[in-house]
């Protein structure tokens, strides 16, 4: 019997907040309540002054395996995720080869079972080869556990294909069609948000309407087909308005946005540093404000990071030549705590809903994000909200270092992460679990 006792913390989950210790026995929560005493042989994990919550769930990460292992692997990416408090992630299918085939998906799942520091569920492609033409074998992938289907990295631009994807997936309970909403015809050749800064910097732009026009179209298709739709990394206020209206109409839609889109603007690109390049791009203050409002009123359900590692040599190039993408999984919670919770924009409970229980529901993770009660799987995160630290790309667990938060002083850090009853992070340090 393996027992861990989390003592002295405050438990916060979807049911509320209370002072309580948590006893974990053999992978499951055994007991939650005040003043629990450790059994003989139990390991006590100090949670004094900390918040004990369901493990975080990041439904959009790129772990680059297979194909780009020089920038990240399931092993390194999931260690970063554990350090960021995650017990589950959904990894995107734009690998090489892409996750459009049962054998490749099986290989990723098998590798994750041997090497990962958290649950790693692959998303599957909507179309073969992510080409936007023929449907990938969604049913076969679904049978392997895949619930999120997306061609992320690319938009499914063809409305007819998107319609068929919605229709086909509606036969697969809880499957969701997730869109990288950027109309390729409007963003071709663009490298940053099209606005005052791109005009000044002479960098070809990607207009916000490239996103909102696709979201508008997809919402109509979702409405017509009854399909389930998820907007990945929503970046502009106009898209949020469309999703808000669609939710009011009863369309089955969810949305996520990233910490960077909630905090940074296109002005970050003024120094031509490719660390601030991503798709969809960092937008304007009005969009940041619109996304924050949408998060507050529930239009945006989840915060996901789009953790997109790129090896240093691919980012040490001119801005326009660099691939888009930023690290995020290890810093997301701390960035949200520092920039949104501490200034009073979000409550801690709202932040954790967006970082844990809402995304767990979207991703179909039954064993993550649920309230801390006896007999549930022990997937937990213990946050020290007062811990201060400085982000240094070189010291992150990712194999890459392309963080937009380099040098930021953050308040709040994950002290312990328990994945399936096993500490993957203990006293801020990642544990060797394999």
Partner 1 sequence: MKHLLSVDDLGPRAEIEKMLDLTESFVAVQRREIPKVPALRGKVVVSLFYEDSTRTRVSFETAAKRLSADAMVFTVSSSSVKKGESLLDTVQTIEAMGIDAIVMRHSASGAPHRVAEWTSASVINAGDGRHEHPTQALLDAFTLRRHRGPSLDGCRIAIVGDVKHSRVARSDVKMFQALGCELTLVGPPTLMPERLDGWPVTVSHDLDDVLPDVDVIYLLRIQRERIGEALFPSIREYADRWGLSAARVERCKPDMLVMHPGPMNRGIEIAGDVADSTRSLVTEQVTNGVAVRMAVLWTLLGSGGDFV
Binding site for partner 1 (CB under 8 A): 194-196, 198-205, 207, 271-272, 313, 316-321
Calpha distance 13→28 (Å, rounded): 16
Q: Is 325 helix (H, G, I), strand (E, B) or coil?
A: coil
Helices (H) and strands (E) in the chain, counts: 14, 21
Nearer to partner 1, 314 or 424 (CB): 314
| Cα–Cα distance, 177 to 358 (Å, whole number) | 17
Q: 201 or 293: whose CB is closer to partner 1? A: 201
Instruction: Record the tokens describing residue 137, joined without a space.
Output: 């074998």
Closest CA to 336 of 318, 325, 321, 348: 348
Considering the candidates 183, 306, 384, 427, report the single residue annotated as catalytic.
306
Edge-to-edge strands, sheet with 21-25: 28-33, 21-25, 3-7, 43-46
User: What DSSP string describes 273-340?
Assistant: -GGG--SSPP--HHHHHHHHHHHHTTSS-EE---B----HHHHSS-GGGSPP-B--TTTHHHHHIIII
Nearest distance in Å: CB 205, partner 1: 6
Find the angle CA(124)-CA(75)-CA(305) to the nearest 5 degrees: 55
Element (H, E) at 228: none
Give 195 or 421: the residue with its C-beta nearer to partner 1: 195
How far from 112 is each of 9, 20, 81, 122, 200, CA to CA, in Å?
Answer: 31, 32, 13, 10, 45
CB count in 10 Å sphere of residue 2: 12
Q: How far is the CB of 313 from partner 1 (least distance, A)?
A: 7
| Beta strand pairing call for 28-33 and 16-19 | unpaired
Closer residue to partner 1 (CB): 205 or 385: 205
In whole angstroms, the minimum distance from the beta carbon of 171 to partner 1 comes to: 41
- Pairwise CA distance, residues 104 & 127, whole Å: 15
Give least dist CB 312 to partner 1, A.
10
Look-up of token digits 């073969």 = 128
191 vs 368, beta carbon nearer partner 1: 191
In this structure, what token pair is assigned to residue 1? 């019997």
Closer to partner 1 by CB, 71 or 87: give it: 71
CB of 316 to partner 1, least distance (A): 5
> Residues 6 or more apart from 6 whose CB is under 8 A from it?
21, 22, 23, 24, 45, 47, 52, 380, 382, 416, 418
Q: Which is nearer to partner 1, 122 or 281 (CB)?
A: 281
Annotated catalytic, 26? no
Q: How far is the CB of 273 from partner 1 (least distance, A)?
A: 8
> Which residue, among 423, 393, 388, has the nearest Cα to 409 in the 3D structure?
388
Q: How far is the CB of 323 from partner 1 (least distance, A)?
A: 14
What is the DSSP code (8-state) at residue 268?
G
Sequence-distant (≥ 6) Cβ neighbours of residue 154 within 8 angstroms: 94, 130, 132, 180, 184
Query: Minimum Å distance from CB 66 to partner 1?
Result: 24
Give the nearer residue to partner 1 in terms of CB position, either 101 or 194.
Answer: 194
Q: What amino acid positions are annotated as catalytic residues?
A: 306
């Amino acid at each position: 019997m393996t027992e861990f006792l989390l003592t002295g913390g405050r438990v916060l989950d979807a049911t509320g907040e209370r002072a309580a210790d948590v006893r974990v026995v053999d992978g499951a929560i055994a007991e939650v309540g005040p003043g629990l005493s450790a059994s003989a042989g139990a390991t006590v994990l100090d949670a004094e002054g900390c918040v004990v919550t369901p493990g975080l769930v990041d439904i959009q990460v790129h772990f680059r395996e297979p194909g780009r292992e020089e920038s990240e692997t399931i092993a390194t990416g999931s260690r970063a995720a554990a350090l960021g408090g995650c017990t589950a992630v959904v990894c995107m299918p734009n690998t090489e080869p892409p996750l459009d085939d049962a054998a490749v998906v099986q290989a990723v799942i098998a590798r994750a079972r041997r090497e990962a520091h958290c649950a790693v569920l692959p998303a599957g492609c909507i179309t073969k080869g992510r080409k936007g033409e023929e449907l990938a074998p969604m049913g076969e992938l679904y049978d392997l556990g895949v619930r999120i289907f997306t061609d992320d990295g690319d938009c499914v631009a063809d409305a007819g294909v998107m319609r068929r994807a919605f229709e086909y997936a509606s036969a697969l309970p809880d499957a969701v069609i997730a869109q990288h909403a950027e109309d390729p015809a409007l963003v071709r050749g663009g490298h940053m948000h099209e606005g005052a800064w791109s005009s000044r910097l002479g960098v070809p732009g990607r207009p916000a309407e490239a996103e909102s026009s696709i979201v508008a179209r997809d919402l109509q298709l979702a409405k017509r087909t009854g399909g389930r739709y998820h907007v990945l990394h929503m970046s502009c206020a106009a898209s949020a308005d469309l999703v808000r209206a669609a939710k009011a109409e009863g369309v089955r839609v969810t949305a996520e946005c990233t910490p960077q889109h909630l905090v940074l603007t296109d002005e970050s690109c003024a120094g031509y540093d490719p660390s601030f390049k991503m798709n969809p791009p960092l937008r304007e203050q009005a969009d940041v404000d619109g996304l924050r409002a949408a998060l507050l009123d529930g239009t945006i359900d989840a915060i996901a990071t789009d953790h997109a590692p790129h090896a240093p040599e691919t980012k040490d190039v001119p801005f326009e030549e660099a691939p888009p993408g930023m690290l995020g999984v290890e810093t997301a919670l701390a960035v949200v705590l520092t920039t949104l919770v501490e200034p009073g924009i979000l409550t801690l409970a709202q932040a954790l809903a967006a970082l844990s229980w809402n995304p767990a529901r979207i991703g179909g993770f039954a064993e993550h994000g649920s309230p801390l009660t006896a007999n549930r799987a022990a997937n937990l995160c213990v946050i020290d909200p007062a811990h201060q630290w400085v982000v240094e790309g070189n010291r992150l667990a990712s194999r890459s270092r392309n963080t937009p938060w380099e040098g930021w002083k953050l308040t709040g850090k994950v002290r312990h992460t328990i994945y399936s009853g096993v500490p993957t992070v203990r006293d801020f340090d990642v544990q060797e679990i394999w």
